[in-house]
A and B are shown apart, each in its own frame.
Chain A
């Protein structure tokens, strides 16, 4: 890995993640070594979604122990930390503010540089670190994102994305309404394995964009009519994934990229992986999935991005370190890629 200057000492970055249900902390070294990964996950009441202020309260209660554990399990002392990175957005305001407050306090107390990280970018960079891809088309799918992106001219450009809810939202909202456990993705996946009948549900692809809210409403209507949940989960997955895979194949053909990288929470779904692998073969691209340990939100991806950004001189003054709940991926200037 290229370093901007000769350095005797390695750089240790503490990354703090708190965009949604996860409060995470991790220490990563500038050679890409991941020293620790500690997470605490807020679980909403059954049948409910994330309550932002409750989640923030959870993060508040866990912050100290999570960060201490991240230091301990890395075998580091707080004085070994050179950089403090935090997820600055996009995400839920109250949750983001917990991570930002902790990060600011530590940076002030330790007198260390503070680095603001875009959460979507963090998912992409950890995918690149763990798969060694060079110039991929990225499929980023999670509770907060459903987007197809590739790098060009200093930014990650969006080729396609959801026009309403994300894949993660779709599964979570469906699971809540049908009294499956949350997060919904793994539950829908388990249930779908027992189903086999394809129910007719709306399939909405617009160019490289997708839209899932119509699919969700129709699936819930079928549920109320008494359609077996197994078949409904099977169909929901089949159709939701097919839409995204089609949009991805169209983007691959358009961009002519030779690598496809799948990252984000929904990347853990085996069925989705197989489908994307199939179109990668068709379009002569190599298929890669982020290391399964890092599909979900974690401090690791924030810490690693902290290193990348800091090496290019990106830091933020405490006074300017406000969170950006709606900070789009394609608004971040990237100076470490060309």
Chain B
């Protein structure tokens, strides 16, 4: 099988390849010429390592993620399992109300499982979730993920998810966020969840010109 460029993401080039008879994605964080070489190297290597670590830990937290086969720190390269499915972003508008709620609730559960295990995804958008034919949701792109039990970090994760819905899927954003929180509530204890959701509002209020956001 010939190696083909599968997708050029913001952070990395993705190639489709075979690895000991397995279909894999080769993810290479290519150097960015716009930034200082020192900063560039630091970001590419630290994120490659972080992604490999946390993809694995997420699996232990019962969150479906692709399996890591190989890590090349020097080249900022990962060989990861190819997940057959569709990006939720593309699929979103085609779903009916019931399916959408079910999927969003499941997304909420996945976020809850990560947070409960002290993991923060760091870039929750519908571009970073894959839905398989068996209706299983895989989370991908863990380059900005990190360890934290801090409500500020958990709140930021939820805020980013909400932002992604508000901007990309504005027509269904409100209902979807509700379902995500319902799922999240299945995993997180009620008191803790309250605190995190209060923090989400605090984060929004801290941003620019938030005064009329809640009116």
Interface size on B, residues (CB 8 A): 37
C-alpha spacing A160/B10, complex, angstroms: 14
Q: In the complex the two chains form, is A238's CB within 8 Å of B35's CB? A: yes
How far apart are B157's CB and chain A's nearest CB, in angstroms?
A: 9
Within 18-40 of B, Cβ neighbours of A (below 8 Å) are at 32-36, 38-39
Q: Which residues of A contact B163 (CB under 8 A)?
A: 158-160, 207-209
B117-142 interface code vs A (CB 8 A; 1 in, 0 out): 00000111101000000000000000
How far apart are A118's CB and chain B's nearest CB, in angstroms?
A: 10
Q: In the complex the two chains form, is A198's CB within 8 Å of B38's CB? A: yes
How far apart are B195's CB and chain A's nearest CB, in angstroms?
A: 19
Residue of A nearest to B156 (CB): A206
Within 149-192 of B, Cβ neighbours of A (below 8 Å) are at 156, 160, 163-164, 166-168, 170-171
| Known contacts A207-B122, A331-B212, A331-B213; is-contact A157 B170 (Cβ 8 Å) | yes
Q: Which residues of B contact A185 (CB under 8 A)?
A: none
Q: Within 8 Å of chain A (Cβ to Cβ): is B208?
A: yes
Within 138-169 of A, Cβ neighbours of B (below 8 Å) are at 144-147, 150, 152-153, 155, 157-164, 166
Q: In the complex the two chains form, is B171's CB within 8 Å of A153's CB? A: yes
Q: In the complex the two chains form, is A324's CB within 8 Å of B212's CB? A: yes
Q: In the complex the two chains form, is A252's CB within 8 Å of B210's CB? A: no
Q: In the complex the two chains form, is A242's CB within 8 Å of B35's CB? A: yes
Q: In the complex the two chains form, is A207's CB within 8 Å of B38's CB? A: no
Q: In the complex the two chains form, is A207's CB within 8 Å of B208's CB? A: no
Q: In the complex the two chains form, is A205's CB within 8 Å of B212's CB? A: no
Chain A interface size, as a band, is 35 or more
Q: In the complex the two chains form, is B209's CB within 8 Å of A327's CB? A: yes
Q: Which residues of B contact A158 (CB under 8 A)?
A: 163, 166-167
Q: In the complex the two chains form, is B123's CB within 8 Å of A207's CB? A: yes
Q: In the complex the two chains form, is B207's CB within 8 Å of A163's CB? A: yes
How far apart are B202's CB and chain A's nearest CB, in angstroms?
A: 11
Q: Within 8 Å of chain A (Cβ to Cβ): is B83?
A: no
Q: In the complex the two chains form, is B167's CB within 8 Å of A328's CB? A: no
| Known contacts A203-B39, A246-B10, A274-B34; is-contact A145 B208 (Cβ 8 Å) | yes
Q: In the complex the two chains form, is B209's CB within 8 Å of A254's CB? A: no
C-alpha spacing A150/B170, complex, angstroms: 12
Q: In the complex the two chains form, is A206's CB within 8 Å of B166's CB? A: no
C-alpha spacing A325/B210, complex, angstroms: 10
C-alpha spacing A97/B147, complex, angstroms: 47
Within 304-338 of A, Cβ neighbours of B (below 8 Å) are at 324-328, 330-331
| Known contacts A206-B122, A326-B212, A328-B212; is-contact A163 B35 (Cβ 8 Å) | no
C-alpha spacing A278/B9, complex, angstroms: 15
Q: Which residues of A contact B5 (CB under 8 A)?
A: none
How far apart are B104's CB and chain A's nearest CB, in angstroms?
A: 18
C-alpha spacing A255/B168, complex, angstroms: 8
Residue of B nearest to A146 (CB): B208
Q: In the complex the two chains form, is A328's CB within 8 Å of B210's CB? A: yes
Interface residues of B (CB under 8 A from A): 8-11, 32-36, 38-39, 43, 89, 122-125, 127, 144, 156, 160, 163-164, 166-168, 170-171, 203, 206-213
Interface residues of A (CB under 8 A from B): 89-90, 144-147, 150, 152-153, 155, 157-164, 166, 198, 203, 205-209, 238-239, 242, 245-246, 249-255, 274-275, 278-279, 282-283, 324-328, 330-331
14 sample A-B contacts, Cβ–Cβ < 8 Å, listed by A number: A90-B209, A145-B208, A146-B208, A158-B167, A159-B163, A160-B163, A163-B203, A163-B206, A164-B207, A249-B10, A250-B10, A278-B33, A325-B209, A328-B209
Q: What would 19 more interface pairs be, CB under 8 Å, given A144-B208, A253-B8, A328-B209?
A: A157-B168, A157-B170, A158-B167, A159-B163, A162-B208, A166-B208, A207-B163, A242-B39, A246-B11, A254-B89, A254-B168, A279-B34, A324-B212, A325-B209, A325-B211, A326-B211, A326-B212, A328-B208, A328-B212
